[in-house]
Amino acid sequence: MRKRRGLLDDGKPDTPPLTQGKLEELRTQIPHMRLADLGTVTEKADPEFIAIMEEYLQEFAKPGDGPMPCLHCGYPVIQDLAQQFLGARGGFEWGYVHGHGWCKECRWPIVMHHFIKDKSGKEILTIRFIPLQVHPDKVSLPEKENGKEN
């Protein structure tokens, strides 16, 4: 039996680990993000900027409407303070790389701060506190060596 984690814990079983089969299924079901998913692009927009943004956003899954459920476990990625303090499942946890983190429930990768660069490496735009889940095409499972994960 699973131990409850807090007052808002729903009591459901722990999320099973991500398998190669589940990852392949998500790859076929989840569309990539496009610039148009953020809103209308005006005719005045610089074509080079649009191309850079389209390339950058391809790394991420298209967000749905309303609360953002995690692609793997389905729990909400964004929570208010009360949900966090009272132990609701899901939520975002900061990682080791600046601006990156994961779902607290299942560790699906999420980028919260975006440092967008042009082809020469010059930073052209910084967007902070916009959680985008990494598309399953960019996620891989750890390789196993002699039956053990590296």
Contact 61, 133 (CB under 8 A): yes
Model confidence band, residue 27 (pLDDT cutoffs 50, 70, 90): very high
6 compared with 23, residue with greater pLDDT: 23
- Does residue 15 form part of some domain? no
- Does residue 13 form part of some domain? no
- Does residue 46 form part of some domain? yes
Question: How many domains, in total, are found in the chain?
Answer: 1
- Does residue 150 form part of some domain? no
| Residue corresponding to tokens 């459901």 | 12
Domain limits at 135?
20-143
Distances (CA, A) of 65 to 37, 94, 103: 10, 23, 18
Q: What is the pTM of this model?
A: 0.84
- Does residue 10 form part of some domain? no
- Does residue 43 form part of some domain? yes
Contact 62, 118 (CB under 8 A): no
Q: Counting every residue, how long is the chain?
A: 150
